[in-house]
Chain A
Amino acid sequence: MSTRPNLPPLRLHVPEPKYRPGDEADFGDIAIPAAGATPRPAVDAAPAAFHDLAYGLVRVLDDDGRAIGPWDPKLSPDTLRGILRAMAKTRAFDERMYRAQRQGKTSFYMKCTGEEAIACAQAYALHRDDMCFPSYRQQGLLIARDWPLIDMMNQIYSNKGDRLGGKQLPIMYSTREGSFFSISGNLATQLPQAVGWAMASAIKGDTRIASTWCGEGSTAEGDFHSACTFASVYRAPVILNVVNNQWAISSYSGFAGAEATTFAARAIGYGIAGLRVDGNDALAVYAATEWAAERARTNQGPTLIEFFTYRAEGHSTSDDPSAYRSAQEREKWPLGDPISRLKQHLIGLGEWDEERQAAMDLDVANEVKAAQKESEKNGILGHGMHQPMSTMFYDVFETLPWHLEEQKQDMLAEAKAAGIETS
């Protein structure tokens, strides 16, 4: 250690969120550009032209719910209602599955409350066969694509109907048919995989693109860097979405670098188009995704989109956010709630009203409830064995090698000797 008297001692900066439990949250200092203020570049614009977009915020809906500016995707009222319904259904699904976990029917659940616009509006902007590489908080993709809720619930309950045979933690869905890649517990691994899938699509001269999602916390993983590098180098037809919901469990976004820059701005250094978007504005989400998809589809390369949003609830059923953040943040969040904002917009267009909203809410709640009832007929976690014990050995490899066959036989013999039911 050197302590030269003529030099000040060095100090380590450790980020600290502005508000902790008990604090009065105030987001007044967050710069929120007015709706319609951010320009919309041509889909073939050079990556270097995205500086303002990477530090700005693409917004379409203003405070009164009007759609303004160049990013207005001019969707039909039917499409708007479809997105609204998908968001409402996602929220209802989350509520019910959260409760199911609390009732001990399964081990774990994660909500996406406040972030519904991202997955739901994006599902509408992508083609049904574009491949999605999601994180665990894009259940809205499946719901917006009308994937059967029962199938999702079967997975959550690890029951007899679970296509994944009870092998995966709840919410780690997978469906090839639904173009929804198997979710992994390891953060950010899906990012380079999505780039690889997109490269493969380009190698084969396909027309499908890939899209992938991670939280802002996960951008600190090396996979994010590798994905951006490969996407840029090979101009892969991929959309890299960063869902900046401010929190990674208890760590605020400052620990992923948010104090110094935006996540969209990361794109600039990689030579990738970068957009920063109001993640609670379904129209802006749709428009940015449609733009990025067209860019990818026309061989103009990848786009990195940061969705600025707020994780309105706990990280998961294992988390209590009151232990690390101000309880009021959710109410004070300046970008509001995505469902209320789209609802207000539709009402303003004369295409919706409170009664229809109430009826829709009831309808999706009933749909979710009915699906739950149906799914629970296949069993819930912990109530008996839903898969024959031997199935745990299958799908490690395409065929069962001798050592797994032997372990399987040993297990069955031991269970039999102990009088345990094996299937």
Chain B
Amino acid sequence: MARMNMIQAINSALDVLMDRDPDIVVMGEDVGYFGGVFRATAGLQAKYGKTRVFDTPISELGIIGVAVGMGAYGLRPVPEIQFADYIYPAFDQLVSEAARLRYRSAGEFTAPITVRSPFGGGIFGGQTHSQSPEGIFTHVSGLKTVIPSTPYDAKGLLIAAIEDNDPVIFFEPKRIYNGPFSGHYDRPAKNWSQHPDGEVPEDYYRIELGKARVVRRGADLTILAYGTMVHVAAGVIEEQGIDAELIDLRTLLPLDIETIEESVKKTGRCMVIHEATRTSGFGAELSALVQERCFYHLEAPVERVTGYDTPYPHSLEWAYFPGPVRIGEAIKKIMKD
């Protein structure tokens, strides 16, 4: 065991796997010599060489297109998109190619690629360093979408994602790279070194995709969250002293429906929290699933606390972000019914 922040855990996952599997290659803008703008790939080029860890031209389309071709050859590429906000130039290659290659070739060709990308807000990133585009990808059949919320999970899930034979979008909540975030932006930031989930095994382990983590057991309300919002929700639960069950989804697709269903049937109330904009966001899918499956157990309408349907603002970040105030009010509302 070692103390790691999320960046170190991701780095460790790549290191452990690259050591085991010579077919893994890491590529992206600034990932090589420099080790990535967030340092997630630091030291890997020195250790594994320039043909396994390399810088690419600034072309997201090219990065993913090339990765799909490498996957078809038999490699296991782990491309990085510097910010999730810049994944759109590669959208066609992800949606039309990576996601469909297995299907359209009836399994002859596959795209075993894992696209790592920092996502989410809370860092004054403005419009193009804050977005949460996960709902766009969960809508695409053939892609898996994974979002860790702790260093321990980040490593175990990334290992599982890279070993998975399907294309995986791996969004890393950059707000919590260094430490958990309660949503109280005016309080001193904590570091992962003070958190139990900052304990990370140095060698190989994996966390199966499609399995949620029950962060906290509770009887009165089920809160579904992922990424940074897991920590924000945990903070509010504690502050309000309510007996909520908090579920960190970890994998959005495939989703751990059993854990969700079991919890909501027990609590009778469900709240979904995400940073992404509301309309057609992943919360809509969660809300619909809960409604379909737990209808007779629900004591209140499913509540969604999300980003507003606007581009991510700069100066009004804390009014936009679904922080403790907004979640707190929503909890009061859902518990009243």
Measuring CB to CB, which residues of chain A are less than 8 angstroms from any residue of chain B? 131, 133, 163-165, 167-168, 172, 174-176, 181-182, 184-186, 189, 191-204, 210, 222-223, 225-227, 229-230, 233, 395-398, 401-403
Q: Are A189 and B104 in contact (CB under 8 A)?
A: no
Are the CB atoms of B73 and A167 closer together than 8 Å?
no
Find out whether the CB atom of B254 lies under 8 angstroms from the CB atom of A203: no
Count A/B pairs, Cβ under 8 Å.
Answer: 146
In-complex Cβ contact of A196 among B59, B66, B144 (8 A): B66
Q: List the A side residues contacting B108 at CB < 8 Å.
A: 163, 174-176, 182
Contact partner of A192 (CB less than 8 A), chosen from B51, B66, B73, B164, is B66
Most chain B CB atoms below 10 A, which of A192, A198, A227, A403: A192
Tell me which residues across on chain B come within 8 A of A176, comparing CB atoms.
105, 108-109
Hey, which chain B residues are within 8 Å of A189, CB to CB?
65, 92-93, 96-97
Which residues on the A side are within 8 Å of B96 (C-beta)? 184-186, 189
Residue pair B69, A222 in contact (C-beta under 8 Å): no
Known contacts A174-B104, A193-B66, then 7 further A-B pairs from the complex at CB < 8 Å, ordered by chain A residue: A163-B106, A182-B108, A204-B75, A397-B142, A398-B165, A398-B166, A401-B253
Chain B residue contacts of A184, Cβ below 8 A: 96-97, 100, 104
Q: Which 9 A-B pairs have the closest CB atoms?
A: A196-B69, A192-B65, A226-B62, A196-B66, A193-B69, A200-B73, A401-B254, A182-B105, A197-B69
Q: Does B69 lie within 8 Å of A182, measured CB to CB? A: no
20 contacts between A and B (CB under 8 A): A174-B105, A176-B105, A176-B109, A189-B92, A189-B97, A193-B65, A195-B66, A195-B69, A196-B67, A202-B51, A203-B70, A222-B61, A226-B57, A227-B62, A233-B57, A395-B107, A396-B142, A398-B165, A401-B253, A401-B254
State which size class the interface on B falls in.
35 or more
Task: Give chain B residues whose Cβ lies under 8 Å from the Cβ of A194.
Answer: 69
Q: Evaluate contact between B66 and A167: CB separation under 8 angstroms.
A: no
- Chain A residues whose CB sits within 8 angstroms of the CB of B71 once the complex forms: 196
Task: Say yes or no for B103: interface residue by CB 8 A criterion.
Answer: yes
Task: A203 to B70: give the CA distance in the assembly, Å.
Answer: 10
Q: How far is the CB of B97 from chain A (nearest CB, A)?
A: 5
Contact (Cβ within 8 A) A230 B66: yes
Say how far B1's CB is from chain A's closest CB, in angstroms.
Answer: 32
Please indicate the chain B residues that have their CB under 8 angstroms from the CB of A201 in the complex.
73
Contact B103 A396 (CB under 8 A): yes
B106 near A165 with CB under 8 A, answer: yes
Question: Which chain B residue lies CB-closest to A210?
Answer: B69
Query: Which listed residue (B62, B73, B77, B104) contacts A182, Cβ 8 A?
Result: B104
A189 to B98: give the CA distance in the assembly, Å: 10
For chain B residues 131-145, which have a beta carbon within 8 Å of chain A?
Answer: 141-142, 144
Q: Chain B contacts of A229 at CB under 8 A?
A: 57, 59, 62
Question: Are B257 and A402 neighbours in the complex by a CB distance under 8 Å?
Answer: yes
B-side contacts of A227, CB under 8 Å: 62, 65
B101 located at the interface, meaning its Cβ lies under 8 Å from any Cβ of chain A in the complex: yes
Complex CA–CA separation, A195 to B96 (angstroms): 18
Taking the closest CB of chain A, its distance from the CB of B312, in whole angstroms, is 25
Chain B 56-106 interface residues, beta-carbon cutoff 8 Å to A: 56-57, 59, 61-62, 65-75, 77, 89, 92-93, 96-97, 100-106
Complex CA distance for A182 and B108, rounded to whole angstroms: 8
Residues on B with beta carbons closer than 8 Å to the beta carbon of A199: 66, 69-70
Q: A196 to B70, alpha carbons, bound, how many Å?
A: 5
B52, CB-defined interface residue at 8 Å? yes
Alpha-carbon distance A131/B89, docked complex (angstroms): 26
CA distance A175 to B109 in the complex (A): 9
With an 8 A cutoff between CB atoms, is B36 at the interface? Answer: no
Residues of B close to A222: CB separation below 8 A: 61, 89
Say yes or no: B68 contacts A193, CB within 8 Å.
yes
A181 in contact with B109 given A193-B72, A200-B70, A397-B102 (CB within 8 Å): yes
**Residues of B contacting A167 with CB < 8 Å?**
103-104, 106
Question: Which of chain B's residues has its CB closest to A229's CB?
Answer: B57
User: In the complex, how many angstroms separate the beta carbon of B149 from the nearest chain A beta carbon?
Assistant: 22
Over the window 305-328 of chain B, the binary record of Cβ atoms lying under 8 Å from chain A Cβ atoms (1 yes, 0 no) is 000000000000000000000000
Residue of B nearest to A392 (CB): B103
CB-CB < 8 A to B141: which residues of A?
396
Question: Within the assembled complex, what's the spacing in Å between the Cα atoms of A194 and B65?
Answer: 9
| CB-defined contacts of A210 to chain B, threshold 8 Å | 69
Shortest CB–CB separation between residue B111 and chain A, in angstroms? Answer: 9
- Residue among B59, B93, B96 with the highest chain A CB neighbour number at 10 A: B59
> Contact check: which of B52, B105, B164 meets A164 at CB < 8 Å?
B105
